Amino acid sequence: MSATRALLTLACLVAPALGATYAQTDSYQGSDFLSGFTHEAIADPTHGRVNYVDQATAVAQNLTYASGDTLILRADDTTVLSASDPGRSSVRLQSNNVYSNHVTVWNIRHMPQGCGTWPAVWEYGQDWPNQGEIDILEGVNDHATDQATLHTTSGCTVGGTRTMTGTSVGDNCDVNATGNSGCGVTSNDASSYGPAFNAAGGGFYAMERSDAGVKVWFWSRNSGAIPSDVLGGATSVDTDNWGTPFADFPSASCDMASHFGPHNIVINLTFCGDWAGAVFAADGCPGDCTTYVDENPSAFTNAYFDVAWLKVYQ
């Protein structure tokens, strides 16, 4: 083999690692979420009207149901609460594995909807906020569209050229400078959140975290533009083929290595609290959020996630 040929061959072999190709390292479907994630029965740090239960309780009460290609995570929709109760029973699942640079692809059929709900699919480092937080799917009170957000320590702002279809709602990711709002981007896709997301049968969320920054994509279930590797949960994915993300957080003014550590993946559903409670009336919801959550269990019949699968690539 000539030296030139050898170099070309070598270039071809190493090219995927330098490009945007990632190999699948974890796949979660149905009961994989019971073994690969931990139900955290903890107090909500954002002061929600919630009672997170452990896995045994969640399964016994069918708040968590895992079978085949289905993971249902829901809130108690039968119990009327009194003021002395800790909150509406719900679940918070956290991955046992941690991930640094990686890609996640979520195939979600249904997400929690309704006044008072604050669902989230997100990631964060245990040394928060020093290791950062990436919110992928989040909103409150049936807000029209999804908001993807970074939360960091100081010195991380959104700079450089952003290539995205969404709308920025803040350029400083520092939790202390923004009252923990961070730097968010709202999707302009009406099907990205709540009732409209559910009416379409949900869709796919994908997030890429690399030294170049963070990108988040959404494709509704019936979109003609879903990349084949996303649709099929392929064993490798190439984010270069995914088109323009709705949220782009380039690393130009945010050094990734010093603001983001190893992340656990979390999926949770809380109620009221710092965000949903604060804008409850402004969002057109009736009365006081805590009272509403306590007294109207049947309002939470559609407050559930139905996840087909989650794939992680590194």
Ligand X SMILES: *[C@@H]1O[C@H](CO)[C@@H](O)[C@H](O)[C@H]1NC(C)=O
Q: For binding to ligand X (CB under 6 A), which residues are involved? A: 42, 44-46, 62, 65, 72, 92, 120, 122, 135, 138, 268, 270
Closest to ligand X by CB, 77 or 138: 138
133 counts as catalytic: yes
Q: Is 138 a catalytic residue?
A: yes
d(C-alpha 44, C-alpha 119), whole Å: 12
CB of 135 to ligand X, least distance (A): 5
How would you classify residue 232: left for phi > 0, otherwise alpha for psi between -120 and 50, otherwise beta? alpha
- How far is it, in rounded angstroms, from Cα 96 to Cα 35? 9
- Which CA distances in Å does 64 have to 59, 60, 238? 5, 8, 33
Q: What is the spatial distance between Cα 183 and Cα 172, in angstroms, rounded to a whole number?
A: 5
Tell whether the torsion through CA atoms of 308, 236, 312 and 205 is positive or negative. negative
Which residue's C-beta sits nearest to ligand X?
120
**Among residues 63 and 105, whose Cβ is nearest to ligand X?**
63
Nearer to ligand X, 122 or 305 (CB): 122
Closest approach of ligand X to the CB of residue 127, in Å: 16
d(CA 153, CA 172) in angstroms, rounded, equals: 10
Q: Are strands 64-67 and 92-99 parallel, antiparallel or unpaired?
A: unpaired
Catalytic residue among 40, 123, 138, 295: 138
CB-nearer residue toward ligand X: 22 or 300:
300
In angstroms, what is the minimal distance from the CB of 228 to ligand X?
Answer: 30
Minimum CB distance to ligand X, residue 110 (Å):
10
- CB-nearer residue toward ligand X: 74 or 230: 74
**Annotated catalytic residue within 40, 123, 133, 208:** 133
Least Å distance, CB 10 to ligand X, is 43
Task: Identify the bridge partners of residue 107 per DSSP, sorted by sequence position.
Answer: 204, 309
Number of neighbours of residue 82 by Cβ within 10 angstroms: 8
Q: Which residues are catalytic?
A: 133, 138
